[in-house]
Amino acid sequence: MKSRILLVLFILGGGWFLRAADPAPGLALGDTPPPVQKAIRAQIGKGTITAIDKVSDDDGTTYAVQGKNAAGVEKIFTLGDDGVLQSIEVTLDETPAAVQKTIGEQMGKNQLAGIDKTIDERIVKYAVELTTPDRQSRSLIIAPDGTLESREVGLEEVPAAVQAAIKAQLGSARLDSIDKTFDADEVSYEVMTITRSGQERGFTVDALGNLQSLDLTLAETPVLVQAAIKNQIGTGKLQSIDKTFSPEGTTFDVEMTTKEGAARHFSVSPAGQLVSVELALDETSPAIQAAITSEAGPARIESIDKNFEPDGITFDITTVGRGGREKDFTVSDNGTLLTREVFLENIPPGAQKTIREQIGNGHIIRIDRSTERESGVLPFVVQGRKNGMPFNFSVGPGGRFLGMDN
C-alpha cells in the first residue's frame, strides 16, 4: 500500500476494484496545479513531502502524494487535479467502529496490509487489503456502516457453476481477480482478466453462473449499436461499454466523457435504439426542471436519466439526502410526478405486513409509491427478487394485495 504504485479505485458493473496504474516521474510541489498544492499543504502542513506522482489515464489525472506531517505521521493520499481528496491511507483505529468490526470478522488467519478511505462523488468507502498466509493479496470494500460490499476471492472459493462460467468466458485471457459482491442478499462475482495484449477486461456472473455483463470494445458491438454509440458520443470520448443481460432484455451500457469533460452514461438496444441517456438539469425542459427541483427539495440531484419507452418518455431522477441515502423518483415528459421511492419502514403497517409476507425469503430492491390509481387506490409498487428471479407486485396502503406485476 505504501509503494510508489498508485492504487486507483474504479467501478465496473457496480463493483469496486483496486487497479494498479504506473505513475509518471515524481514532481515537485510547484509542478502541480494550485488547487492540488493547496490540498497537499492542508494534509502535510509544515511537514515533509516525500513524493508526488502524477497519474493520467482514461478517467483523468490524479496526484498520488506521500509525506509526513509536522508530528511525523506518514500521510499517503490521492487528489484529483481539482484538489479534491479521492483517497487517503488510514489506520484501523481511524475507521468507524462498524468498519473495524467487519474487518475483524473477515480477517481470519489473514494479516491486515493497509486501509484506504476512498471518496467518490461524496460517497465514502473503505478499501481494505489483506495478506493471506500463503502471501496472496485479498481486498475488501466496506461501507462506513460496516456493510461488506465486496470481497476478493480465489477461483477455488466460488461455486462450481460460477467456476465453469468464469473458465468458459476466460478463453485465452489470464484471470486477474474475482470480487464477490453483496447487494442485499444477492451475490454476484465481478471478474477481471488480462488479455494476451495486456488489456484489462471484465465481466460479471451471478451466483448461478449466469453471465450478467461483459466489457466490450466498440468494434465488438453490432454495426447498428456502433452507429448509435458514435452518434451519441459526437465530439466526446468513449470510456467503456458493458453488454448487460437481464430478464428485461439485453442493452449496451456506455460510459463517456463530453467534450467539456463531464461524465455521462447512456444505453442502447441491440437494434441500435437509444434506451436511456443521462442529462444535466439544464438540458431538460422548464417543466421537467420545475418538477425535479420541487420534488428533490434540499436533497442533491445525483443523476437524471431520460428513458425512451414504447408508451412514452419518462425521466428517472436519483437524489442524495443529508445522510447520504439515495432516493429515486420518476416524472413524465410533461413534468407530472409518476412514482416516488419510499422505504419499507416509512409506509403504513398494513402494507409493510403484506410486503414482508409476499417477499418471504427473497429481498426488496425498491418500493415506489405510484401516483396512478390501481383498483381504486394509490399502490405501493414493489420490485424484488425471490428464488433468483424477479418478483414484482403491488400492495394497497391498507395492505390489500393488488397482484403481481410484469
User: Are 14 and 45 in the same domain?
Assistant: yes
**CA-atom Rg of the chain in angstroms:** 23
pLDDT score, position 299? 92
User: Are 143 and 61 in the same domain?
Assistant: yes
What range does the domain containing 296 cover? 281-341
User: Are 42 and 133 in the same domain?
Assistant: yes
Q: Is residue 53 included in any domain, yes or no?
A: yes
Domain end: 264, 279, 294, which one?
A: 279
Domain end: 291, 309, 341, which one?
A: 341
Please count the other Cβ atoms lying within 10 Å of the Cβ belonging to residue 370. 17
Three-state SS for 127-169 is EEEEECCCCCEEEEEECCCCCEEEEEECHHHCCHHHHHHHHHH
Q: Is residue 25 included in any domain, yes or no?
A: yes
The residues that bridge with 253 in the sheet, in sequence order, are 242, 267
pLDDT score, position 387? 80
**Cell digits for 144?**
462506513
Q: What is the pLDDT of residues 148-162, one digit of tens each?
A: 999 999 999 999 999
311 burial via Cβ count (<10 Å: 0-12, 13-18, 19+) = exposed
User: Are 27 and 130 in the same domain?
Assistant: yes
CATH number, domain with residue 321: 3.10.450
Contact 220/198 with Cβ under 8 angstroms?
A: no
User: Are 171 and 298 in the same domain?
Assistant: no
User: Are 326 and 336 in the same domain?
Assistant: yes
pLDDT score, position 184? 65
User: Are 15 and 40 in the same domain?
Assistant: yes
User: Are 374 and 356 in the same domain?
Assistant: yes
Q: Distance between alpha carbon 365 and the CA centroid of its chain, in Å? A: 15
Q: Is residue 359 included in any domain, yes or no?
A: yes
User: Are 196 and 134 in the same domain?
Assistant: no
Q: Is residue 1 included in any domain, yes or no?
A: no
Distance from first CA to last CA of the chain, Å, rounded? 48
pLDDT tens for each residue of the chain, 406 residues long: 333 233 333 333 333 333 333 434 578 899 999 999 999 999 999 999 999 999 887 677 899 999 999 889 899 999 999 999 999 999 999 999 999 999 999 999 999 999 999 998 778 999 999 999 999 899 999 999 999 999 999 999 999 999 999 999 998 899 999 999 998 668 999 999 998 888 889 999 999 999 999 999 999 999 999 999 999 999 999 999 999 998 789 999 999 999 988 889 999 999 999 999 999 999 999 999 999 999 999 999 999 999 999 889 999 999 988 767 889 999 999 999 999 999 999 999 999 999 999 999 888 989 999 998 988 999 999 998 888 788 999 999 999 999 998 7
Q: Is residue 213 included in any domain, yes or no?
A: no
CA–CA separation, 266 and 256 (whole Å) = 8
Half-sphere exposure of 247 (CA within 13 A, CB side): 10
User: Are 59 and 111 in the same domain?
Assistant: yes
**Cell digits for 50?**
516525500
User: Are 113 and 233 in the same domain?
Assistant: no
Counted domains in the chain: 5
User: Are 300 and 257 in the same domain?
Assistant: no
DSSP string covering 289-315: HHHHHHHHTTSEEEEEEEEEETTEEEE
